[in-house]
């Protein structure tokens, strides 16, 4: 088999191949990205042509990421070229003030800072946090290798390596400070869209119980400030249930056959896209929920 950009022996491959990661990291990354890069969120929203079918777009993006993670270089290059064409169209200037950015501030999907804060940082952090919560803790060397793999991932999408912190410890210090700063916030549109991304995923009725478990895990995996900004309630009972599920997942993981716990989440992404298409054909438009929680 032709090799891709990330081999089977890479830390990124091992982390992202875990289905528990594949089912959750994307929603967490999108919710954090809306908060950590408000300027990037505005630009993407202003230029999207898929506002009426958001989950088909997100499912396509998730499968595209898997192609870059696991595909051959030829497959990955085709996916990257497609994304590059889309990103080249996402540019403009703010028509009004947006937090610390005044009206007239230029934005571009190819801006290295926005690529870091809006894509690479929240995606890396979400993959690491989810893997450690549900699979096993990573050692210091593994975290460093995973971070370097994600810097390479960012480079493939056009982010210069020098735009990223040079080591995992430096990334962690920068990332925590950034999430606590006034440059990380939610507009009303970002709050609604981000919440819906995590807690409004369309699946058939028989899949709803499993989705409720995933939603609890997603809420628990988010940083406390993010839960507060999204208006997600989090009680002692939620924390106990979350901790119990994570502990059980880590404990019994070695007993689950590798073919079940590792592999592509493409079938799940396809299920979400099909469910949204059926709902749209039935006249049920996507709902936007602001500051609410089940």
Residue 205 domain-assigned? yes
Residue 222 domain-assigned? yes
SS3 content of the chain, % helix, strand, coil (to 5): 70, 5, 30
Give the pLDDT confidence of 153-211 residue by residue, as tens digits.
999 999 999 999 999 999 999 999 999 999 999 999 999 999 999 999 999 999 999 99
d(CA 33, CA 120): 9
Does the pLDDT of residue 270 top 70, yes or no?
Answer: yes
- Residue carrying structure tokens 């059980």: 248
- Dihedral class, residue 210 (left if φ above 0, else alpha if ψ from -120 to 50, else beta): alpha
pLDDT at position 278 is 93
Does the pLDDT of residue 293 top 70, yes or no?
Answer: no
pTM: 0.94
Does the pLDDT of residue 2 top 70, yes or no?
Answer: no
pLDDT at position 120 is 98
Radius of gyration, CA atoms only, the chain: 18
Which of 113, 57, 112 has the alpha carbon at shortest distance from 86? Answer: 57
Does the pLDDT of residue 253 top 70, yes or no?
Answer: yes
d(CA 155, CA 110): 11
Does the pLDDT of residue 292 top 50, yes or no?
Answer: no
Residue 292 domain-assigned? no
Residue 4 domain-assigned? no
The band of 63, judged by pLDDT with boundaries at 50, 70 and 90, is: very high
d(CA 213, CA 218): 9
The backbone torsions φ and ψ at residue 18, rounded to the nearest 5 degrees and listed phi first, read: -70, 120
Residue 192 domain-assigned? yes
CA atoms within 13 A on the CB side of 182: 4
Residue range 109-133: mean pLDDT, rounded? 97
Residue 38 domain-assigned? yes
Residue 135 domain-assigned? yes
d(CA 246, CA 134): 5
Structural domain for 194, as ranges: 11-281
pLDDT at position 52 is 76
Residue 5 domain-assigned? no
**What is the tally of structural domains in the chain?**
1
């Amino acid at each position: 088999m032709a090799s891709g950009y990330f081999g089977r022996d890479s830390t990124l491959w091992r982390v992202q191949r875990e289905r528990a990661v594949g089912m959750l990291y994307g929603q967490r990354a999108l919710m954090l990205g809306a908060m950590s890069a408000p300027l990037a969120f505005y630009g993407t929203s202003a230029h999207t042509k898929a506002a009426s079918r958001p989950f088909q777009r997100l499912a396509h993006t998730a499968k595209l990421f898997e192609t870059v993670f696991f595909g051959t270089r030829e497959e990955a290059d085709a996916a990257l070229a497609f994304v590059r064409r889309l990103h080249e169209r996402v540019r403009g200037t703010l028509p009004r003030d947006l937090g610390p950015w005044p009206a007239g501030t230029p934005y571009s999907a190819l801006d290295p800072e926005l690529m870091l804060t809006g894509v690479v940082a929240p995606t890396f952090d979400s993959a690491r946090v989810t893997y450690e919560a549900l699979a096993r803790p990573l050692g210091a060397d593994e975290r460093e290798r995973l971070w370097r793999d994600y810097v390479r991932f960012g480079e493939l999408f056009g982010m210069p390596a020098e735009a990223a912190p040079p080591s995992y410890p430096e990334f962690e210090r920068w990332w925590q400070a950034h999430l606590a700063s006034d440059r990380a916030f939610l507009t009303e549109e970002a709050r609604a869209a981000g919440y819906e991304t995590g807690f409004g995923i369309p699946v058939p009725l028989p899949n709803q119980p499993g989705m409720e478990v995933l939603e609890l895990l997603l809420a628990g995996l988010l940083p406390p400030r993010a839960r507060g900004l999204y208006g997600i309630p989090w009680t002692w009972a939620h924390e106990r249930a979350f901790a119990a599920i994570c502990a059980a997942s880590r404990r019994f993981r070695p007993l689950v056959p590798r073919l079940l716990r590792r592999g592509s989440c493409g079938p799940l992404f396809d299920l979400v896209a099909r469910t949204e298409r059926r709902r749209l054909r039935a006249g049920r438009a996507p709902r936007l929920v602001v500051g609410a929680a089940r």
